[in-house]
Structure 1
Amino acid sequence: MDYALELFYRESWLDQRLHYEEYFKDEKILLHESYINFLWHPDTFMPNAIASKNPQKHSISHRSLLRLSADGTILYSRRISIVAECPMDLTLFPFDSQLCKLAIESYGYTADRVRYFWSNNMGVPLLLHKIRLPDFQIKEAYVTSVIESNYSRLYVCFVFDRSSGFCLIQLVVPSTAVVITSWVSLWMESQTEFQANFPG
């Protein structure tokens, strides 16, 4: 199964070469987004993403932020659209539960060079009560971080419970109606043959 996400992706890192605390201690500098090409930044990618795109520049949906703090901390925020894959286990269909993960990691830097962490306020479960799906209910959403194959990786995890009532209405009821209809036609044929054998 594929799923699409529209999100604001924010990452922050510390580059001590850019600190200016001795000049302006508490001041933050907003930079034009093109400056990201001149700064070191983690080569973040999403390994299970099938497609991703940024909105066209100068469009209403294009949003990005690049901010430098006095201690050298850089915040880079942008809006992106992602289509990711989610392998499903349908053993218990239509009473199944699915776990879909969106993975985030560095493309070229191993964990000893770049380590990913969620910000402090991401330790609580994510609230997704406004999202409605026809055949699934979102049971929970949470974040986690691991080190796999020497790479630091973050996960956004979504747990879906299938709405069995939706499947019954969409699959079982129409299938049952087709089977009953075929039985009626067979019963009518047998009645016709019976009347033909015993003419009145």
Structure 2
Amino acid sequence: MKPTALALRLLYLAWLWPTTLLSESQFPSRRKHKDVYLGENTRHKHGGRIDFKMKKSDSTKSLLIKSEQLLRIDDHDFAMRPGFGGSAIPVGIDVQVESIDSISEVNMDFTMTLYLRHYWQDDRLAFPSSSNKSRTFDSRLVKKIWVPDVFFVHSKRSFIHDTTMENIMLRVYPDGNILYSVRITVTALCSMDFSSFPLDTQNCSLELESCWYNRLYINFILRRHIFFFMLQTYFPTMLMVMLSWVSFWIDRRAVPARVSLGITTVLTMSTIITGVSASMPQVSYVKAVDIYLWASFLFVFLSVIEYAAVNYFTTVEEMKKLKRGKLPVSYDATQAMAYDGCFHDNELDLSPFPELPTTPSTEQAAPPRNSSAEPPPTEGTRLWRKRSVRHNINFIMSNSYMIDSYSRIIFPVAYLLFNIIYWSLYS
């Protein structure tokens, strides 16, 4: 190397060295955060830009380590309960019900969302503090310490809410007291008694138990609103029963009208009973709604039977009159029964038969009424009762239209009496 070139190089180094020292003296923080500025220079090469004020060191990891060190997580075996080997630990529990989501009569269960809170003391988690009254943690620390083994006894399904993260909170106080809160949705069994359904009141209990074998009962008194069932079951049933009474005001010879009305009401009642039974559990006892539905069905069925009796007695009486000659020869009883209310009794010739002439033989054959050999029957004899019942039956058969007249009063009064007894017993 030539001497001239060597002198120029030494001169360059002499100029560069003071400048470097001046830069480090003016910015001492460059030596402390050399790696930060190195990353900044690297990003400038890729075209990125970082604000100097926003760049700070991340201390989350160090704080987490400090929290675990403060609570001495690694110094104890948290697989054991506090004070293991001594007396039992008292654990306080309270429940805040957020909502009762559903009550199912078919499955005999109820679903609710609640906040379940536990309170206990663990001296192993006590920490010295002069400023913080408590420290709050999430579910990550819960997995590292001891918590009470509380579970729901008759739970069918349950889960802890995890949106947007697990709904678990752990709060530790300096003296070792702990609050553990969790948000749960649980579906629990409820043994319901439907003897008075839907006028019933159910007592459902949520039971919590621990391997200390203690059980906590939380009772819920559930009273059913009747208005929904009045609209869906009771009012339609009442209307069908009253509709079946319309046939009592239709002429007894209007066979198609009265038969179709009776069959329609019977089928409608069957549909209502089937719909109610499908939405109820299959229990072995009779429910209050079953009594009302089947009693109403009986009233509808009896209205059909009533017309069958009226039609039969009318047919029998008209056939008797036809044989006796009280009806014209051209009268067709079958055709008259098919008329739509156009045929009436006043159209018939109901003139009585002429009295038969009496002859001496008939007068001698007829026994005297006041004969001493056979006294007349008294009112208390059995023969008089037989003649009375027979006379009443003959009177009803000869006046079958009176059955409809009596039914117009008997059926509504009986149904009204049934409703009074029913609602007074179950309401």
- What SS does structure 2 have at the residue aligned with 1:43? coil
The 1:153/1:192 distance shift into structure 2, 3 A limit, reads: same
Q: How far apart in 2 are the matches of 1:93 and 1:57?
A: 39
Q: How far apart in 2 are the matches of 1:42 and 1:88?
A: 31
Pick aligned residue for 1:41 from 131, 134, 147: 147
The answer to whether the aligner puts 1:169 opposite 2:198 as a matched pair is no
Once the two structures are TM-superposed, the CA of residue 102 in structure 1 deviates from its matched residue by 0.7
Letter of the 2:233 counterpart: L
Aligned to 2:123: 16
Contact 2:160 2:167 in 1 (8 A): no
Instruction: Output the TM-score relative to the length of structure 1.
Output: 0.64
- What SS does structure 1 have at the residue aligned with 2:237? helix
Once the two structures are TM-superposed, the CA of residue 2 in structure 1 deviates from its matched residue by 2.0
Letter of the 1:34 counterpart: R
Once the two structures are TM-superposed, the CA of residue 178 in structure 1 deviates from its matched residue by 2.9
Which 4+ stretches in 1 moved above 4 angstroms? 182-191
Once the two structures are TM-superposed, the CA of residue 50 in structure 1 deviates from its matched residue by 1.3
Q: Identify the structure with the greater strand proportion.
A: 1
Indicate the structure whose relative CO is greater, using CA pairs within 8 Å and at least 6 residues apart: 1
Deviations 1:7-49 (A, max 9, x none): 12111221122222xx226631112311111111111111122
Letter of the 2:124 counterpart: R
Aligned to 2:113: 6
Letter of the 2:179 counterpart: L
Deviations 1:70-108 (A, max 9, x none): 1212211121111122111122333322111111111xx
- Work out which of the two has the higher radius of gyration on C-alpha atoms and give 1 or 2: 2
Q: How far apart in 2 are the matches of 1:186 and 1:80?
A: 61
C-alpha RMSD of matched pairs (Å):
2.8
Task: Identify unmatched segments of 5+ residues in structure 1.
Answer: 111-150
Q: How far apart in 2 are the matches of 1:44 and 1:189?
A: 74
| Aligned-pair identity (%) | 34
Deviations 1:155-175 (A, max 9, x none): 221112233444333321112
- Counting only pairs closer than 5 Å after superposition, residues 33-182 of structure 1 correspond to structure 2 as 33-58=139-164, 63-106=167-210, 109-110=211-212, 151-182=213-244
Contact 2:168 2:180 in 1 (8 A): yes
Moved more, 89-98 or 79-88: 89-98
Contact 2:160 2:185 in 1 (8 A): yes
Task: Identify unmatched segments of 5+ residues in structure 2.
Answer: 1-107, 256-310, 312-334, 344-427
Deviations 1:122-159 (A, max 9, x none): xxxxxxxxxxxxxxxxxxxxxxxxxxxxx212222111
Equivalenced residues, count: 154
Letter of the 2:116 counterpart: Y
Instruction: Output the TM-score relative to the length of structure 2.
Output: 0.32
Q: Identify the structure with the greater helix proportion.
A: 2
The 1:190/1:44 distance shift into structure 2, 3 A limit, reads: farther
